[in-house]
Amino acid sequence: MEKDSVMLIVDDVEMNRAILTQFFKNDYVIVEAANGQEALTVISQQTVDLILLDLVMPVMDGFELLKVLKKTEKFAEIPVIVMTARNEGESEVRAVELGAADFITKPYNPAIVRMRVRNVMARMENEWRKIEAAAQRRQITEMRHFIERDTLTGIYNRETFYTKAATLVQNNADVPYHIIYLDISCFKIINDLFHIETGNLVLRTAAAYFQTLVEGNGLCGRMESDHFALCLPMERVNMDMIMQGLDNAVQSLSICHNILFYAGVYPVDNVFQPIDQMCDRAHTALNTIKGKYTTRFVYYDESMREMILDEQMILREMEYALEEKQFCLYMQPIYSISQHKAICAEALVRWIHPLKGLIAPGRFIPVFERNGFIVRLDRFVWESACQVLRAQKDTGAAVVPISVNVSRLNFYNFDFLDTIMGLLAQYDLEPWMLKLEITESAYTDNPHQLLAVMRQFQEHGIKIFMDDFGSGYSSLNMLKTVPVDILKVDMSFVQNVENSDRAGSIMKNIVQMAHDIDTGIVIEGVETKPQVDFLQNIGCDNIQGYYFSKPLPVKQFHALLAREQGVK
């Protein structure tokens, strides 16, 4: 026993206290009390580890003190050894019933007294160890739960799902399993139209449904945001019933919006394949149907495998392609209808593969967006555009500005502004000559960061296009806060203006709105003379599309500008 442990000796006979003090003075800090009342005062003022208590005392006897200690939570755990005379069996029984840990009899035998005290303290220490061990187990359980579980929904997080699903399918290799990957179509709309708590409620409800669905047979996890994954035996996978049950669960929330989940299903054919790859394939399948109303789930098949192999080829060769200058610029002019000449041009990247020929941007741009390579490709495009501008400037003719696309990932780079301004300085160009095109999806991802960066560019004289305006759900709302200079209206708006009064009215109001807020406007995808005439009649002068020019290689673009400007 450590010397700083405190023993309280409670006895009205001073000689008894002195004797007991001699027994334990080398092992304990001794404090004394002449009756139960004094003992209460002592333990109220300092920590006491053990009480030796006489039962027969004036003022407050030992029994009364035991009753008080038993009823008082902060004192109830102090071990008490009572001191009795011989042949006081009833008193000893009563004392034990009131919480006494043991008893010693008078006259005191030093060896027996010390042994009784050691035994009591050893039992108490063992009990504390049990309590501490139980607390540690609870803490470990809680910590494991915190590490393994998604904090919002309570189901497994991504990493835990991967680990446990791998164990499940490998330990049951004779059972065919399916991996199901699900997410919500346009989940951001829910958070925008309603409070974020509504979105969280949807996620928790879906998670609870998935937890019930897999109970005892499989696993479920939240991958990120509104993305979930399930691992179920094939015999338990009835996708029509699963989707119907999910719809019913979400509809029970009575949210005034049609919330639709979509799912991709991957049949596991190799239990030792990494679970993240299985989820990726199920997700790939899901992406082929997302947004459709007629099909809500789809199984992964070999055609999707070909798409993955194509993506792997792109990832394998992208570095070499950039080094070997397989990427090149095409320029698509933006025309003034009234002037019948190019007033700007958009720089578009093309991949000319030595064996596969032209690889369409739709095949490689999404891949580069996902793996981050788009940042390096963007910088190649920016510098190439500056080189085209420099070549224009060297002819002595009027410079036609060029707009370049900016991936959302660039807005997270602190050197973004410095990079652009450095290129303008390197090629001796004016800020107005280079324009930046961003999509509204970049705004929805990180509006505060985007706005801060946009203002920095505009302060340096660089104009900002909002590309594909109207293709998303939040375009009009964004105009209140996003200080774009020019709207590039998505081509879908112009496709029916010749045949639909409704489409024409919408286009007319978009153009009028742009004029009212003093914002430039360019209409994309213009292909026919009636479309051009309609746009000119409603006051829109700037268009881009095949009617005037398709995307051109740089040499052809320079030749076009030379013809229009009369430069030989």
What CATH number did the domain enclosing 218 receive? 3.30.70.270
DSSP state of 69: H
**Does residue 160 share a domain with residue 127?**
no
Most confident of 294-298, 440-444, 519-523: 519-523
The confidence band for 335, taking pLDDT boundaries of 50, 70 and 90, is very high
Domain holding 411, by residue range, is: 309-565
List for the chain the helix, strand, coil content (%; round to 5).
50, 20, 30
Closest CA to 388 of 561, 260, 234, 541: 561
Residue 504 resides in a domain: yes
Q: Is residue 149 predicted with pLDDT exceeding 80?
A: yes
Q: Give kind and range of the element (H or E) at residue 370.
A: helix 361-371
**Does residue 500 share a domain with residue 401?**
yes
Bridge partner list, 437: 405, 465
The confidence band for 515, taking pLDDT boundaries of 50, 70 and 90, is very high
**Does residue 519 share a domain with residue 423?**
yes
The mean pLDDT of the chain is 87
- For residue 107, say if its preceding peptide bond is cis, omega within 30 degrees of 0: yes
Residue 475 has a pLDDT of 60
CB atoms closer than 10 angstroms to residue 62? 27
**Does residue 252 share a domain with residue 170?**
yes
Residue 298 has a pLDDT of 94
Residue 146 has a pLDDT of 65
**62-76, 134-148, 540-554: segment of lowest average pLDDT:** 134-148
Bridge partner list, 156: 149, 221
**Does residue 380 share a domain with residue 290?**
no
Contact 484, 455 (CB under 8 A): no
As given in the structure block, the two tokens for residue 526 are 């213009």
Q: Tell me the pLDDT tens digit for each residue of 126-140.
A: 767 766 666 676 666
Residue 256 resides in a domain: yes
As given in the structure block, the two tokens for residue 148 are 């393994």
- Tell me how far apart the alpha carbons of residues 39 and 37 are, in angstroms, rounded to a whole number: 5
Identity of residue 531: Q
Residue 137 resides in a domain: no
**Does residue 199 share a domain with residue 180?**
yes
Residue 139 has a pLDDT of 66
Q: How many domains does the chain have?
A: 3
Residue 35 has a pLDDT of 92
Q: Decide which of 97, 132, 167 is a domain's last residue.
A: 132
- Tell me how far apart the alpha carbons of residues 114 and 24 are, in angstroms, rounded to a whole number: 8
- Tell me how far apart the alpha carbons of residues 419 and 383 are, in angstroms, rounded to a whole number: 10
- Tell me how far apart the alpha carbons of residues 281 and 274 are, in angstroms, rounded to a whole number: 11
* CA dihedral sign of residues 20, 22, 23, 28: positive
As given in the structure block, the two tokens for residue 31 are 């404090």
Residue 142 resides in a domain: no
Residue 357 has a pLDDT of 93
**113-122, 296-305, 341-350: segment of lowest average pLDDT:** 113-122
Q: Is residue 264 predicted with pLDDT exceeding 90?
A: yes
Q: Which long-range contacts (CB under 8 A, 24 or more apart) does 39-43 make?
A: 39/8, 39/10, 39/65, 40/65, 40/68, 42/8, 43/8, 43/75, 43/78
* Inter-helix orientation angle 416-426/374-395, to 10°: 30
Closest CA to 157 of 207, 84, 101: 207
Residue 85 has a pLDDT of 74
Q: Tell me the pLDDT tens digit for each residue of 358-380.
A: 999 988 998 888 788 999 999 99
**Does residue 183 share a domain with residue 111?**
no
Bridge partner list, 30: 7
DSSP state of 238: -
Residue 214 has a pLDDT of 94
Q: Give kind and range of the element (H or E) at residue 173.
A: none
**Does residue 441 share a domain with residue 337?**
yes
**Does residue 263 share a domain with residue 213?**
yes
**Does residue 456 share a domain with residue 340?**
yes
- Tell me how far apart the alpha carbons of residues 452 and 460 are, in angstroms, rounded to a whole number: 13
